Structure 1
């Protein structure tokens, strides 16, 4: 069967979820079609969509980016842009005050629709940082819902806001009401967004990718919170996501969308045990899982075909497996905002981002860095690039001309080093200049470093595009005209422009859906195999790091707590922090649900209450990294928790040359 035939939508619409109970459904969408009209033409975003949600039920809307999931939620809430038009269908909602209303027939700006939006149907946005105003406190923004829909007094609003923050398990609600969004971590911002949506206790909550950019423990906490709130308030939940692990742990019904149409729907048990549509089967095959014994090749829905002949192999400076980048004893602290001391003896308020970090990157390997948000992964990556200065320690880059200490290197030396080390950023859109064409973006590193003559740059740009599976004609287009996966491939091509030896990839697939994520991961593995690249790969997704890494470094609170070969780490993790990360990963498998009872409290990034011998306390020296098994290091005071048959103890630092 061809790809086009496999992915084509069905000829007739499927039976909607809860069709037999549509008469009693809280929300019933019937044959909905949405178009976007512009001078360039008409784009049909949703075609013949039908779905029903009963009170108190959870329905997951699943599909790739561009499948029409978010457009459907916008149509339900009347938030479509001006050029978005509902061309057919009904959206029937049973409101407690207005009775049954057709939301598709009500003007979006009418008082009737505004009374429903927020009071009876609320939305949790995907990115809470952009959804909140940076100029107003959380208390003002969350309380605004009560001011609009309940006409409450200031005292009543403050009391209801604090009560709602407590409802979403927010630490210190009274203090949080005076804070601004940028002062909170990603997980707390998402809880604040959920609190704002729940101010009026709506019977229907729409959660649009609520956990996409969160690390595994924060994601698990948000999923548990949604599950608890639904049971406590009896509300229905429409969950929009591309993460099948989230669906398996939260949903009761599933609707799968592709190109604006429903291709499969039914109970979650049927969807996972007997998927029938080829698109859903392909979507499941694209999901990485750390339970795989071997590093299998992922099967994306659309494979990226790269031209190996256009790749220029970097000049090898030594045999594979020898140390190429060595870090010893790195420490870094940042001053806290709000330190207004002019004179005084009080110590400065600081956050320790790195604490005595030592590691070695071997030539030709992929070293994975995993940990929660705030664990120090990105600070370490930027320190390795010397994008941020370190307080203590050394970073040595080995090459043909001998070792170079990057901490003490001058500007001229670092300019040369930049050609050997390049960075792939997490957000491909903000890292590409929107005013430059793709060709100009890829040619810029060549021009800065004077790599080739002006006449050769066009040829080099075309070769770079072919190396990441893009057409040479794309050089004349701007970044906004590409999908997220294509923009990330452009970012990788820019990093390859100077033919580096090391790529530092900072969460390169965090914001991508599973099929595009599979494309990028396969591309990185192919480039490594064909060009001999060395990777430092940063991620919070253990399934992703299991797929691509050779060795894995686990970071917590700025320190390395475990370092081991990939298979060894997942087969027998030693540190309780590593075990907690593994247990927090949602599997796309109903037989392996998340253990919500074993999650840490919200807001705790660096836990210092590990049992002995892993205890990290402020009044005692930090334990060393000890070699528990060959190549497997753990930060502990001793190895008494292991069996008697073990190799001799080796202190921290010996792993640099093991």
Structure 2
């Protein structure tokens, strides 16, 4: 679908500022237009936007990256960069002290605007680590809001800070006030950011992608927290997101933006049950979800057309279905920072990142690796690449020249292994050198491993770009000139440069919006079918791994707690941790809301109080992995009392699914 067709399919709904609805609104935006002016020209970021937010209501502003969502929030708060200009429109806000004011007409640095910003309108930013200063404690930074807007004394600020931290369900508020941001997990940092925004109890909270960087359980906790706080404080919320699952569980009204314009808006029930605009319909089709049926192909708004002829198919070093990589009994611990023991017999404080991890990766399959942040997924991936040494265990890579033990392999052997195993990183922004052109980035592994003559490298680079659906002429550009999805495709092309057999994909779509995420997932599946690649796909989102994995490994606290074929795991999960992950995924379906009552309390995600036979005791060895059905393993001390295993097994059905998956890998598309 072309962008022109999308924009012409329906007119933008309008909420003029003189209508009764806008007059009763807490915030009414009328015909807002924002543009950015630079030496390269003028870019229109928002064009003729009109919307209203009623007191105590939640309005979701939905769209892809670049649609103008964050620019709209910056215009409301007067936080536009210097080259951002509001060219037309009004932003009318009903302030308890100043009355109705037009935020678009007030100078951004005026005392009047400063009194509104923070006191009456507060914002929760997307990345809490960059929003906090690493040099100051949480108490100092959160209390600064009360000092600036209330003129409170030190004792009053301290009491109000502790009260607000309790309001956001922060464990041990008094202790937390003395901590620094880097000492907190991602979920607790986000709670601290919400606490700072709520210090003055503002009537309007703007939440800009508040859960994008969090895993599914922390995301569900933050959604529950925002919903509870809204009821307690009678607060309106402007939720900015691209995740339709979050919208379905939190919003009451929805505004859909595309290229700076509103293309559809209305109550959440109407938006999800009767979407009319082609862009919104396409956005919903791109959302991954669970299904017991065969894996469906996601439908991104703009499909990536790869050049199959440009792909170099690596020579297989074994038949499909045979083991290509085996890990046995891996263990890894990290010492905690701040251990100042000079003398003494107290044991060193350590974090157990991997605990007796054993798994087999079959040639031609996609093995999904899921779990919360801190469960050991990335440590396992880095250990398999030998980027971090393990304390115990062995890692065996099988090939034509026989098995290679990566734990004891010397430098020369590992140099050869690097060609067969490659890594796709999570962040497409920081994983590409901004000082190098795309051509130089893709040619670098060819040069290091002396794969081809210098004269052939340009042709190889152009073929790699074509293989991931990018124009060969892009090789002369720098990474900053590409979107997030295009940068991730460049990262995939770099990983394919040495014609590897195995790709380790570490959260490759976590930082991308839903449509670009669908593009990358489809691209990886197409490359697997065309080139016979083997994947280890790491993610915290079971809805994502459902669309690409053949088997799924569930990790918790450094150990594998369940392993099963994809369809079997979703149909009959056995471990309570697996069930928690599945229940925490927000569905883009009003008929399947999140069950907030089953979520663990804040700060208790890592404290596992599983019932028998799943109980893990620090003073005892881990329970073993037991095979419940063919290919389905669960970590438990015994099989007695496990709900679901007394159901009749269907080994033939599971075997046929695995056989179909293997057959699809052997047949080129």
TM class, shorter-length: over 0.9
Which secondary structure state, in structure 1, belongs to the residue aligned with residue 288 of structure 2? coil
Alignment match, 2:289: 289
Alignment match, 1:591: 591
Matching of residue 198 in structure 1 with residue 201 in structure 2:
no
Asked if the contact 1:9–1:259 (Cα under 8 Å) also holds between the matched residues in 2, the reply is: no
Output the CA distance in 2 between the equivalents of 1:646 and 1:57. Answer: 48
Alignment match, 1:494: 494
Mapping for residues 531-550 of structure 1, pairs under 5 Å: 531-550=531-550
- Consecutive unaligned residues of structure 1, counting only runs of 5 or more, are 649-658
Matching of residue 263 in structure 1 with residue 236 in structure 2:
no
Asked if the contact 1:608–1:617 (Cα under 8 Å) also holds between the matched residues in 2, the reply is: no
Asked if the contact 2:32–2:88 (Cα under 8 Å) also holds between the matched residues in 1, the reply is: yes
Asked if the contact 2:12–2:264 (Cα under 8 Å) also holds between the matched residues in 1, the reply is: no
Alignment match, 2:401: 401
Matching of residue 643 in structure 1 with residue 646 in structure 2:
yes
CA offset at residue 7 of structure 1?
Answer: 1.7
Output the CA distance in 1 between the equivalents of 2:591 and 2:143. Answer: 41
Alignment match, 1:337: 337
Asked if the contact 1:313–1:499 (Cα under 8 Å) also holds between the matched residues in 2, the reply is: yes
Matching of residue 8 in structure 1 with residue 7 in structure 2:
yes
User: Cα–Cα, structure 1 residues 647 and 333, in superposed 2: closer, same or farther, change >3 Å?
Assistant: farther
Which secondary structure state, in structure 2, belongs to the residue aligned with residue 48 of structure 1? strand
Which secondary structure state, in structure 1, belongs to the residue aligned with residue 419 of structure 2? coil
Which secondary structure state, in structure 2, belongs to the residue aligned with residue 367 of structure 1? strand
CA offset at residue 22 of structure 1?
Answer: 1.0
Which secondary structure state, in structure 2, belongs to the residue aligned with residue 151 of structure 1? coil
CA offset at residue 11 of structure 1?
Answer: 6.5
CA offset at residue 343 of structure 1?
Answer: 1.7
Asked if the contact 1:625–1:635 (Cα under 8 Å) also holds between the matched residues in 2, the reply is: yes
Output the CA distance in 2 between the equivalents of 1:20 and 1:487. Answer: 46
Asked if the contact 2:292–2:570 (Cα under 8 Å) also holds between the matched residues in 1, the reply is: no
Output the CA distance in 2 between the equivalents of 1:440 and 1:506. Answer: 23
Mapping for residues 547-566 of structure 1, pairs under 5 Å: 547-566=547-566
- Consecutive unaligned residues of structure 2, counting only runs of 5 or more, are 652-669
Output the CA distance in 2 between the equivalents of 1:645 and 1:377. Answer: 32
CA offset at residue 618 of structure 1?
Answer: 1.2
Output the CA distance in 2 between the equivalents of 1:17 and 1:499. Answer: 58
Output the CA distance in 2 between the equivalents of 1:138 and 1:218. Answer: 20
Alignment match, 1:30: 30
Matching of residue 632 in structure 1 with residue 635 in structure 2:
no
CA offset at residue 473 of structure 1?
Answer: 0.8
Which secondary structure state, in structure 2, belongs to the residue aligned with residue 418 of structure 1? helix
Which secondary structure state, in structure 1, belongs to the residue aligned with residue 622 of structure 2? coil
Output the CA distance in 1 between the equivalents of 2:633 and 2:117. Answer: 53
CA offset at residue 606 of structure 1?
Answer: 3.2
Count of residues in Structure 1 that have an aligned counterpart in Structure 2? 647
Asked if the contact 2:329–2:394 (Cα under 8 Å) also holds between the matched residues in 1, the reply is: yes
Alignment match, 1:83: 83
Which secondary structure state, in structure 2, belongs to the residue aligned with residue 515 of structure 1? helix
Asked if the contact 2:213–2:510 (Cα under 8 Å) also holds between the matched residues in 1, the reply is: yes
Asked if the contact 1:324–1:399 (Cα under 8 Å) also holds between the matched residues in 2, the reply is: yes
Asked if the contact 1:371–1:555 (Cα under 8 Å) also holds between the matched residues in 2, the reply is: yes
Runs of 4+ displaced beyond 3 Å: 9-12, 15-20, 644-648
Asked if the contact 2:123–2:205 (Cα under 8 Å) also holds between the matched residues in 1, the reply is: yes
Alignment match, 1:184: 184
User: Cα–Cα, structure 1 residues 12 and 296, in superposed 2: closer, same or farther, change >3 Å?
Assistant: closer
Mapping for residues 133-152 of structure 1, pairs under 5 Å: 133-152=133-152
Matching of residue 221 in structure 1 with residue 224 in structure 2:
no
Alignment match, 2:310: 310
Output the CA distance in 2 between the equivalents of 1:437 and 1:517. Answer: 24
Deviations 1:477-514 (A, max 9, x none): 11011000000000000000100000000000001000
Asked if the contact 1:374–1:605 (Cα under 8 Å) also holds between the matched residues in 2, the reply is: no
CA offset at residue 619 of structure 1?
Answer: 2.4
Output the CA distance in 2 between the equivalents of 1:542 and 1:132. Answer: 30
Output the CA distance in 1 between the equivalents of 2:257 and 2:446. Answer: 42
CA offset at residue 546 of structure 1?
Answer: 0.3
User: Cα–Cα, structure 1 residues 564 and 17, in superposed 2: closer, same or farther, change >3 Å?
Assistant: farther
Alignment match, 1:522: 522
Deviations 1:557-587 (A, max 9, x none): 1000000000000000000100111011100
Output the CA distance in 2 between the equivalents of 1:258 and 1:379. Answer: 38
Output the CA distance in 2 between the equivalents of 1:424 and 1:592. Answer: 33
Output the CA distance in 2 between the equivalents of 1:407 and 1:603. Answer: 35
Deviations 1:394-432 (A, max 9, x none): 000000000000001111111111110000000001000
Output the CA distance in 2 between the equivalents of 1:299 and 1:436. Answer: 33
CA offset at residue 210 of structure 1?
Answer: 0.2
Output the CA distance in 2 between the equivalents of 1:152 and 1:38. Answer: 42
User: Cα–Cα, structure 1 residues 80 and 645, in superposed 2: closer, same or farther, change >3 Å?
Assistant: closer
